[in-house]
Amino acid sequence: MFPLGAVLLPGEELPLRIFEPRYAAMISDVESGEGRFGTVLIERGSEVGGGDVRSMVGTIAHVETITQSGPGRYSLLCRGSDRIRVSEWLPDEPYPRARVDDLVDPVGGRLEWSELLQKRAQLQLLCGQGGRQDAQLRWIASQLTKPVDYEAMDSTTASFRAASDLPLGPADRYKVLTASDAATRVEVIETALDDLIAALRFRLKG
């Protein structure tokens, strides 16, 4: 297991630099095994030195490329795949480990995207207005101009992709990850968008 300060969603890329001895040992085992490991969000504290509080729902990361940059040092490019739920944390020696269960979406029907896409367009417009003074908002607006076609994907993939396409914070991304199904996930994203839009409108009034 690799506790992170961010939430990895299924389908997303995850670049990692490994330099701690215990994670170097983990990567050696990952290379000789199935080329994957679990990730979870650090909810409180710092993973370095222990004492952190870890979330119980996470994502499997598959290693796509690995480069050794020195003794015990690696650069990885991983991609998130399936969700997992931790059933038991094991001792951290020689590195963080846990027993996990697969967390699979139930089979669902077609999703309704019109409301989410309308909110996405509102956020793009507001970020564009704020971007006159804020380069970060200007960058977000430019990212939201990219065309999306969630209808062409299966509902689970599309719901995670919709979250990945938006500037959501760790708390909202974790709510997305833990949502029980794709339809609930879309509702979580829409609520997060409402909060983002309200906050940005208040900010632009100042």
**Mean pLDDT, range 151-174, rounded to an integer:** 95
Answer whether residue 178 is part of any domain: yes
152: pLDDT strictly greater than 80: yes
Q: Residue 24, SS3?
A: helix
Q: What is the pLDDT of residue 12?
A: 98
Together in a domain, 86 and 126: no
The beta-strand segments (E) located in the chain are: 2-4, 13-18, 36-44, 53-70, 73-90, 97-103
Q: Are residues 92 and 159 in the same domain?
A: no
pLDDT at 28 over 90: no
- Residue 125: count other Cβ atoms within 10 Å of its Cβ: 14
| Positions of E strands within 71-188 | 73-90, 97-103
User: Contacts for 178-185 with beta carbons within 8 Å, 24 or more apart?
Assistant: 178/57, 180/106, 181/105, 181/106, 181/108, 182/105, 182/108, 182/111, 182/155, 182/156, 182/158, 183/108, 183/111, 183/155, 185/159, 185/160
Q: pLDDT value at position 47? A: 54
Residue 76: pLDDT band by 50, 70, 90 thresholds? very high
Mean pLDDT along residues 44-62: 80
Q: Which domain holds residue 177?
A: 114-205
Report how many domains make up the chain.
2
Indicate whether 191 and 123 sit together in one domain: yes
Backbone angles phi, psi at 134, to 5 degrees: -130, 115
Q: In 3-state terms, what secondary structure has residue 28?
A: helix
Indicate if 54 and 145 belong to the same structural domain.
no
For 109, the enclosing helix (H) or strand (E) is none
Residue 103 structure tokens: 């967390």
Q: Is position 109 within any domain?
A: no
96-122: per-residue pLDDT in tens?
Answer: 999 999 999 998 778 999 999 999 999
Nearest CA among 94, 80, 72 for reference residue 15: 80
State the average pLDDT over residues 193-205: 91
Mean predicted confidence (pLDDT) in 183-202: 95
* Mean residue pLDDT across the chain: 92
**Do 25 and 66 share a domain, yes or no?**
yes
Query: Residues of the chain with pLDDT > 90: what percent?
Result: 74
What pLDDT does residue 206 have? 64
- 16/95 same-domain check: yes
| Domain presence at residue 12 | yes
Instruction: Determine, yes or no, domain membership for 108.
Output: no
User: For residue 32, what is the domain's CATH number?
Assistant: 2.30.130.40
Residue 79 lies in a domain: yes
Q: How far is CA 58 from CA 105, 159, 200, in A?
A: 14, 16, 30
Name the pTM for this structure. 0.91
